[in-house]
Amino acid sequence: MTGAGNAIPPRPRRAGPRILLVLALLALTAPWIAPRPPDLQEDVAGARLLPPGTRAHALRTASGLRIVTDLARTADGWSGRRMRTIEAFRDQDLLAPPEPRLYLLGTDALGRDLTSRLLFGLRHSAGIALCAVALALLLAITVGSVAALGGAAWDALLMRGVDVLMSIPRLVLFLVCATLFAPTALLLVLVLGATTWTGLARIVRAGLQTLAGGSLRAAAQAAGAAPLRVLARHLLPQLVPALAVGAALRFADTVLLESAVSLLGLGAPPPAVSLGGIMASGRESLAGGWWLTALPGLLLAVLVLALRATATSLDRTLDPPSLA
Amino acid sequence: MRAFLLRRVLAAAPLLLGSLTLLFLLLQLVPGRPFTAEAGAGVSPVAAERLRRISGADQPIAARYLAWVGGMLGGDLGYSWSERRPVADAVQEAASRTLLLTGTAIALQFAIGLGLGLLAAAAGPRLDRLLTAVAGILYSVPSFWLGLLLVGFFSVRLGWLPVSQIHSSDAGAWGTWPRLLDAARHLVLPCLALALPGAGGIALFVRDEVRAALAEGLALSARSRGLGRTRMVLRHGAGRALLAVSVLFGLAIPGLLGGSVVIETLFAWPGMGRLAYQGTLARDEPLVLGCAGVAALLVIAGSLAADVLSAAVDPRVRESLR
């Protein structure tokens, strides 16, 4: 009994779930770990478009807060670079000693801290996608169950409905809804959810159709369980692995779609911060602030990659390749 | 084959009707009635009533449904007030440009995906891991982000390729070849942005399919008789790769059309996606609904083409639907 068929399946990779865990923690704790509020504009002229890793200082003067870089001590006060010119501040004008500011990931064209905006953007984008996927799961389980167990007529009707919904591109369908109704966060969740359940419903339907003829259902029925109880307690739990994998993949697609919609300016209106919205703001300063476009996209790509890797490793863990 | 074709076409027709019905139902969900005179708005109740009668908004819902769907199917998509011309004209003009962009993108996507996938399947473990990682990363990169980065690097930093638009503003005065070259230069970046993420996904799928085919008995016995790795992939894997591609072809079209909304908007490419986006900003209902209807038509036609393709390369598909 030695052969390729008898090999131990490869150990599932853990990198995807680990990265996902880190991102989830960042998103959950954003309000506490963000260095500054994401909308804070302290000194637009001094703080705009500072590159990542900039060490700046905040000087409190009688005429307001000034953000400067390259702070240096002079004979009677401080000098610092602000808007490409060196400005001098006398000691008697300062209300407080200079406070150090580290802009880890730079600032945007309005002088807002990109680190904070990315954290809140991740929280918003992932949150919207999570709500949409939860809604999609609910729809998929309902429709898939009715289609599989409710008789041939329901099956035909609902599955043709799924086909119809899949034949209009999701983004185009979103444009239709955004034209007809005002774009809000709620509309975003509803439309994203209502366009993402179709594939999951097919998983539920196919799974239930396989299970319905099996001994599991027969045994539960013989024990006197009511149809809904058979479905909820005996059949649907069998589908959890397949649904978890499907939901993780849908999550990745949905978070991409949410960002595309926000990039177009049709997402949740400000003050909501989304990764796509940050990218849109970077579009106007492609030459002067590459980090505004590059970093939110990188974060998004890492999230999507981690979600898909998690789906793959979930698939291998919950449903290992047959040893036979 | 002919029976198969007929069956598929007959199955596609209700799908189109269903999509149009869905769009009509969405339209009915909008709160309020058309031309409702609000306090302070400059429309008198009498004028509003007349507008309702002229536009057919006072008809019962069944009559409006028949009129709307009939109009859409007959090519009358209504009048776009933001474009100030019939929706059909605007969509027709834009659709050819979208087809140019998405058509080139789809060809590029499958060429790169198939090449990368076959290469990874034929490669040794180390190169395979590298190529799979590249494909996985490409697949996870948002197309609009890729587009912005490409513009930032190749257009803004290096100045090699144009930032946006479909041709240079003075291209009309040029000869044929400079004009074609100019059009091609404008096509490169949006096309790459649209094609590369999907190509990564295709590469991963093709690699897995070919690897699975190579693990089967027929291929193993050929290998045991001394067939080389490259020939193995070409003889026993390429067929499977082609099957995979014919399945993916239909699935790729909705994604490309959806993606073209963002890419066309970013690159100011005057196609259907951008038209629909501008219609959305102007809240031009007939224009956006017309674009959505045509997009559904393109998706359905595409998946029909994919079915025919997979029936042509795979006898099992033909048999299954006899």
Structure confidence at residue B105 (pLDDT): 93
Structure confidence at residue B36 (pLDDT): 60
Record: contact B22-A282, CB cut-off 8 A: no
**Which residue of A167, A252, A293 is in closest CB contact with B148?**
A293
CA pair distance B181, B190, nearest whole angstrom: 15
Interval B238-269: pLDDT, tens: 777 888 788 788 778 888 888 889 999 988 88
Query: What is the average pLDDT across B39-50?
Result: 69
Residue A79, SS3? strand
Record: contact A168-B215, CB cut-off 8 A: no
B209 touches chain A (CB under 8 A): no
Query: What is the average pLDDT across B124-140?
Result: 89
Query: Minimal Cα–Cα distance from B287 to chain A, Å?
Result: 10
Residue B292 or residue B318, greater confidence: B292
CA pair distance B126, A117, nearest whole angstrom: 39
B22 touches chain A (CB under 8 A): yes
Candidates A171, A172, A173: best to mutate against B (most CBs of B within 10 A) is A172
Residue B18 above 70 pLDDT?
yes
Residue A91, SS3? helix
As a whole-number percent, the residues of chain B with pLDDT over 90 amount to: 12
Candidates A20, A162, A171: best to mutate against B (most CBs of B within 10 A) is A171
Record: contact A172-B140, CB cut-off 8 A: no
Record: contact A286-B152, CB cut-off 8 A: yes
Highest average pLDDT, of A53-57, A148-152, B205-209, B309-313, comes from B205-209
Structure confidence at residue A88 (pLDDT): 79
Mean pLDDT over all residues of chain B? 82
Set of chain B residues whose Cβ sits within 8 Å of the Cβ of A163: 15, 18
Record: contact B19-A263, CB cut-off 8 A: no
Residue A131 or residue B50, greater confidence: A131
**Which residue of A160, A169, A301 is in closest CB contact with B258?**
A169
Residue B235 above 60 pLDDT?
yes
Set of chain A residues whose Cβ sits within 8 Å of the Cβ of B27: 180
Distances (CA, A) of A3 to A9, B131, B226, B229: 13, 27, 19, 20
Q: Could you report the average pLDDT of every consecutive run of 10 residues in chain A (324 residues)?
A: 45 80 91 86 79 82 80 80 80 78 83 89 93 94 88 86 87 88 84 89 86 77 76 80 90 92 85 86 77 90 91 78 50
- R_g over Cα of chain A: 26
CA pair distance A209, A202, nearest whole angstrom: 10
Interval B58-112: pLDDT, tens: 777 788 888 888 888 888 878 888 888 888 888 888 888 899 999 999 999 999 9
Record: contact B136-A305, CB cut-off 8 A: yes
Record: contact B289-A176, CB cut-off 8 A: yes
Contact B276, B223 (CB under 8 A): no
Set of chain B residues whose Cβ sits within 8 Å of the Cβ of A169: 254-255, 257-258, 261, 295, 299
B144 touches chain A (CB under 8 A): yes
Candidates A13, A164, A295, A300: best to mutate against B (most CBs of B within 10 A) is A164
Among B residues 80-99, those touching chain A with beta carbons less than 8 Å apart? none
Structure confidence at residue A324 (pLDDT): 39
ipTM over 0.90: no
Structure confidence at residue B131 (pLDDT): 92
CA pair distance B35, A65, nearest whole angstrom: 52
Per-residue pLDDT band at B41 (split at 50, 70, 90)? low
Residue A279 or residue B4, greater confidence: A279
Distances (CA, A) of A69 to A46, A48, B191: 8, 11, 41
Structure confidence at residue A318 (pLDDT): 73
Structure confidence at residue B32 (pLDDT): 64
Structure confidence at residue B193 (pLDDT): 92
**Contacts with B183 (C-beta within 8 Å, 6 or more apart), sequence order:** B166, B167, B171
**Which residue of B21, B142, B157 is in closest CB contact with A259?**
B142
Structure confidence at residue A301 (pLDDT): 92
CB atoms within 10 A of CB B56: 12
Enter the tokens of residue A61: 């003067």
Distances (CA, A) of B23 to A219, B11, B33, B115, B289: 45, 19, 17, 39, 7
Contact A246, A136 (CB under 8 A): no
Residue B42 above 70 pLDDT?
no
Structure confidence at residue B113 (pLDDT): 92
Structure confidence at residue A148 (pLDDT): 84
Structure confidence at residue A10 (pLDDT): 55
Enter the tokens of residue A175: 């444009």
Contact B313, B247 (CB under 8 A): no
Query: Minimal Cα–Cα distance from B170 to chain A, Å?
Result: 25
Query: Minimal Cα–Cα distance from B173 to chain A, Å?
Result: 31
Structure confidence at residue A266 (pLDDT): 86
**Contacts with A182 (C-beta within 8 Å, 6 or more apart), sequence order:** none
**Which residue of A172, A287, A309 is in closest CB contact with B295?**
A172
Among B residues 273-292, those touching chain A with beta carbons less than 8 Å apart? 273, 276-277, 279-280, 283-285, 288-289, 291-292
Candidates B68, B98, B140: best to mutate against A (most CBs of A within 10 A) is B140
Residue A81, SS3? strand
Residue B115 above 60 pLDDT?
yes
> In this structure, what are the phi and psi dihedrals at residue B36, rounded to the nearest 5 degrees?
-70, 125
